[in-house]
Amino acid sequence: ETACWRSLAASDAGENPEQAQESLDRIDKNLDKIGDSTGDADVNKAVDDLQTAVKDADKAVDEGRTPDVKPVGDAADELTKVCSSG
């Protein structure tokens, strides 16, 4: 799933900024659901970090730049790690 987020955002960002925006919005909404459904501090921190990375990528798209999606992928990897460790 993490690789899907990363590749989706990366491919959409350069070729179709509108689609990239939709992908980032979808990720952000899913993160809200994850954050609301857990009381785990590690998961909440990973969600916060991923939301920050998504917002940074979103800002780049808004400004007409190709976003750096590496931080999104790294934060998604961390979320996957903390979710699977429990």
15-58 per-position pLDDT tens digit: 677 777 788 888 888 888 888 888 889 989 999 999 999 999 88
Q: How far is residue 4's CA from residue 1's CA, in Å, rounded to a whole number?
A: 5
The pTM assigned to this predicted structure is: 0.75
pLDDT score, position 27: 85
What's the DSSP call for residue 65?
P
- Contacting residues for 38 by C-beta, under 8 A, at least 6 apart: 44, 47
Closest C-alpha to 3, from 69, 73, 64, 51: 73
Closest CA to 61 of 27, 26, 10: 10
Tokens 């990973």 correspond to 46
Distance CA 7, CA 35 (A): 23
